[in-house]
Amino acid sequence: MENFNYTFGKIYQPAFDDVPASHRHTLFDVDYVRMTGKQGGVLFVTRQGWPCVESVLPKAWFVDDRFKKVGRALAGATGAVYRVPVAHRARDTFALVVKFSRAAQDIHVTVLDQGAHLNAEERAHIECAEFLSPFEEFGNLARLRAAARSAIPTKHPLAIYSPPTRYAGWQLGRKSYLCARMDRALAASQRDVPEDHRVAYDWERLYVLLYRWIDGIDAEAAAQAGLISEKRMIDLGQEARARLSDFGWMVCDHKPRHVIVRTAGDQDRLLGRPPDTAWALIDYELLVRL
Give 230-287 pLDDT, tens digit per residue: 998 999 988 999 999 999 999 998 888 899 997 765 556 676 666 677 899 999 999 9
Mean of per-residue pLDDT scores for the chain: 91
Q: How confident is the model at residue 190 (pLDDT cuts 50, 70, 90)?
A: very high
Residue from 210, 224, 222 nearest 280 by CA: 222
CA–CA dist 236, 218 (Å, integer): 10
> How many whole angstroms from its chain centre is CA 140?
10
Domain residues of the chain, as ranges? 16-214
Q: Is the pLDDT of residue 86 over 70?
A: yes
Mean pLDDT value of segment 118-124: 75
| pTM (global) more than 0.85 | yes
Residue from 139, 88, 142, 78 nearest 109 by CA: 78
Give me the pLDDT at residue 272, please: 66
Q: How confident is the model at residue 77 (pLDDT cuts 50, 70, 90)?
A: confident
Give me the pLDDT at residue 193, please: 96
Q: How confident is the model at residue 110 (pLDDT cuts 50, 70, 90)?
A: low
Give me the pLDDT at residue 79, please: 79
- Cβ 218 vs Cβ 282: under 8 Å: yes
Q: Is the pLDDT of residue 80 over 90?
A: yes
Give me the pLDDT at residue 268, please: 62
